[in-house]
């Protein structure tokens, strides 16, 4: 029994990364390294208005005064910023007007990922998902833009938004995550190349899921994208983000920013399935994933919900957060984080309760295998004025194997008497009883682990849009099972 479980765990730790292919696409690079010149190069290349260059340079100068944070439970090899290419883009031959003009290699890349850029082909039989595909640093194709624009919805690449809606970009960019926020946010603000932009006007319910697919392809390249979502009064949008990268021996840096603004009665649901290359089973290579995600519930009765399934990256440093400013606003965070081999994850959330009667829910499920370390780090802060607020947090850790670590760092601060904060956490392993029970019913130990892990994560998975939930379930199995992938 014991030894069989060990065998499985061994197999599990040999699960391969199936997205590890490299696509041969002609790519245009910025000069290696970081300087004001690099930033000017990026800004010029993107034909940006003056305010953008100014913003970038301010951020860069601020970044120079900062040091890389050390508080996370992570071992990070020093990052040499002079060896990174801060801008890589598939070389554009001319403006694209239809899907037929997209580089066939690129199309094939996304097809391999299971992402269709063809509006005719609909994902998983669902009504339709509008996709913004970002490869390395640049948005290559946004689908369904026209359908969406009929509703007044703007969904396009960040670069396009800078060109076509500079006033909106100027108004909201940096309003939730200022460039001074943290080391990686400052870096992103200086060098970000593209990303998605989404604006839902007053009273509009976005008729389809919006999705961005990120792919790092080029070698020695950092990806710095930036997403901005604005939901005006009474608007609703569900947004999905997926990511993959090829297998490479060196570590690659990904430092992104996501900002969400929800006005009165608006609701934004943001789902992520993060599957950056995690490195091989000896811990070689993999993506450094340092992401700042934050939303503000600006108006009364607004709601922001983060759901994430984190299976990739060699290092993850990420705390999708909610600032609950409006009265009666709601913040949610649902997370499954799987680490295997030598992966390290330090992830969680921050719920800042500022408005009255604000509510937040945190459900975090950590699964550690191999020699990985998986930390939940969460802050719940109820300010003095946030009367009658509530938080409920539940953080569970599951350990598979005897060489991994699971850590829980909850920070709880309550500054008024009418609010209630509850935090619960457990750490456990898959019990011999559960395994035996499944096996006695004819299920192989390997499938049993998959079943149990999926059951364990179910509370979170059910928050995902359907087409994403399927992918996430598969990913959980791939990340943990040896036979698949």
Partner 1 sequence: MQTESKEPVTQKRFIDLFEKNRAFLSANDTPGLNVTRVKAMASFAKLGFPDTSMESWRLTSLEESFERGYDYHLQPMEEVDVQKVFRCNIPHLDTAVIGQLNGWYVSKDVPLMELGNGIIMGSLAEARKKYPQLIEKYFGTIADDTNDGFTALNTAFTQDGVFIYVPDNVKSPKPVQLINVIHHDENLFLQSRNLIIVGSNAMLSLVHCDDSYNHQASFSNVVTEVHLGEHGAMDHYKLQNLNNNSTLISSVFFRMAASASLDSHYLSLNGGLLRNNIRVLFNGPNGNASIYGLYLMDRKQHVDNNLFIDHAYPGCTSSETFKGILDEHARAIFNGHVLVRRDAAKTDARQSNKNILLTDTARVNSKPFLEIYNDDVKCSHGSTTGQLDQESMFYLRQRGIGEETARMLLMFAFADEIVARIAIPQLRQRIEDMVKKRLQGELQICEQCVLHCSTPEHPIEFQIDLGKI
Interface with partner 1 (CB under 8 A): 71, 73, 384, 387, 397, 399-429
Question: Residue 364 CB, nearest distance to partner 1 (Å)?
Answer: 13
User: Residue 73 Cβ, how far from partner 1 at the closest point, in Å?
Assistant: 8
To partner 1, the closest distance from the beta carbon of 74 in angstroms equals 13
Burial category of 115 from C-beta neighbours within 10 Å (exposed 0-12, middle 13-18, buried 19 and up): buried
**For 206-358, where are the E strands, in sequence order?**
209-215, 226-231, 236-244, 251-262, 267-274, 286-297, 303-310, 315-318, 321-324, 330-339, 344-353
Pick the closer one to partner 1 by CB: 331 or 370: 370
Residue 299 or 366 having the CB closest to partner 1: 366
In the DSSP assignment, the letter for residue 187 is: H
Residue (18 or 407) nearer to partner 1, CB: 407
Q: CA distances (Å), 480 to each of 16, 198, 272, in order? A: 9, 34, 19
CB of 226 to partner 1, least distance (A): 31
> Shortest approach of partner 1 to residue 347 CB, angstroms?
16
Torsion-angle region of residue 220: left (phi > 0), alpha (psi -120 to 50) or beta? left
In whole angstroms, how close is the CB of 377 to partner 1 at the nearest point?
10
Q: Identify which of residues 274 and 408 has a Cβ nearer to partner 1 in the complex.
A: 408
Least distance from C-beta 303 to partner 1, angstroms? 23
Nearer to partner 1, 68 or 426 (CB): 426
Residue 176 structure tokens: 């939730």
- Between the alpha carbon of residue 217 and those of residues 80, 172, 184, 222, 225, the distances in Å are 20, 30, 21, 10, 14
Q: Residue 145 or residue 416: which is nearer to partner 1 going by CB? A: 416
Q: How many CB atoms lie within 10 A of CB 251?
A: 18
Residue 46 vs 359, nearer CB to partner 1:
359
What single string gives the DSSP state of each residue in 30-56?
Answer: PPBS-SHHHHHHHHHHTT--HHHHHHH
CB of 457 to partner 1, least distance (A): 17
| Residue (57 or 379) nearer to partner 1, CB | 379
Cα(194)–Cα(270) distance, rounded to whole angstroms? 19
The CB-of-418 to partner 1 minimum distance in angstroms stands at 6
Distance separating alpha carbons of residues 317 and 312, to the nearest angstrom: 12
Residue 264, beta-bridge partner list: none
Asked if 314 and 438 count as a contact pair (C-beta separation under 8 A), the reply is no
Closest CA to 430 of 447, 409, 408: 447
Nearer to partner 1, 35 or 418 (CB): 418
Nearer CB in complex with partner 1: 232/346: 346
Q: What's the min distance (Å) between Cβ of 406 and partner 1?
A: 5
Q: Which residues of 418-434 are buried (b: 16+ CB within 10 A; e: fewer)?
A: ebebebeeeeeebeeee
Give the span between the Cα atoms of 202 and 266, in whole angstroms: 9
């Amino acid at each position: 029994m014991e030894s069989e479980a060990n065998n499985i765990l061994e197999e599990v730790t040999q699960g391969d990364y199936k997205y590890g292919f490299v696509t041969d696409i002609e790519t245009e690079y910025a000069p290696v390294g970081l300087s004001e010149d690099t930033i000017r190069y990026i800004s010029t290349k993107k034909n940006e208005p003056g305010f953008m260059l100014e913003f970038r340079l301010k951020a860069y100068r601020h970044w120079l005064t900062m040091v890389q944070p050390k508080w996370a439970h992570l071992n990070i090899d020093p990052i040499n910023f002079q060896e990174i290419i801060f801008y890589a883009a598939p070389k554009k031959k001319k403006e694209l007007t239809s899907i037929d003009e997209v580089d066939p290699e690129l199309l094939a890349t996304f097809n391999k990922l299971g992402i269709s850029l063809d509006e005719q082909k609909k994902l998983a039989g669902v009504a339709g998902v509008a996709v913004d595909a970002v490869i390395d640093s640049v948005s290559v194709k946004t689908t369904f833009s026209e359908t969406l624009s009929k509703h007044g919805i703007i969904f396009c690449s960040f670069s396009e938004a800078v060109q076509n809606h500079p006033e909106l970009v100027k108004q909201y960019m940096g309003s939730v995550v200022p460039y001074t926020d943290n080391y990686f946010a400052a870096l992103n603000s200086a060098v970000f190349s593209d990303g998605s932009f989404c604006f839902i006007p007053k009273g509009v319910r976005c008729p389809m899921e919006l999705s961005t697919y990120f792919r790092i392809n080029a070698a020695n390249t950092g990806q710095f994208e930036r997403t901005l979502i604005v939901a005006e009064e009474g608007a609703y949008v569900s947004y999905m983000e997926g990511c993959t990268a090829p297998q490479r021996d060196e570590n690659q840096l990904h430092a992104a920013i996501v900002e969400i603004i929800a006005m009165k009665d608006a609701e934004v649901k943001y789902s992520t399935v993060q599957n950056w290359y995690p490195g091989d089973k000896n811990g070689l290579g993999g993506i450094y994933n340092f992401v700042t995600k934050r939303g503000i519930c600006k108006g009364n009765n607004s709601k922001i919900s983060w759901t994430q399934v984190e299976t990739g990256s060699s290092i993850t440093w990420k705390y999708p957060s909610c600032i609950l400013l409006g009265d009666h606003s709601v913040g949610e965070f649902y997370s499954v984080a799987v680490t295997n081999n030598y992966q390290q994850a330090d992830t969680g959330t921050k719920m800042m309760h500022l408005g009255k009667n604000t509510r937040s829910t945190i459900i975090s499920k950590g699964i550690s295998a191999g020699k990985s370390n998986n930390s939940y780090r969460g802050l719940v802060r109820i300010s003095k004025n946030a009367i009658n607020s509530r938080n409920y947090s539940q953080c569970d850790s599951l350990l598979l194997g005897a060489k991994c670590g699971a850590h829980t760092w909850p920070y709880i601060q309550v500054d008024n008497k009418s609010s209630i904060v509850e935090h619960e956490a457990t750490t456990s392993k898959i019990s011999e009883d559960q395994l035996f029970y499944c096996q006695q019913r004819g299920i192989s130990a390997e499938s049993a682990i998959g079943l149990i892990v999926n059951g364990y994560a179910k509370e979170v998975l059910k928050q995902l849009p359907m087409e994403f939930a399927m992918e996430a379930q598969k990913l959980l199995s791939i990340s943990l099972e040896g036979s698949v992938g």
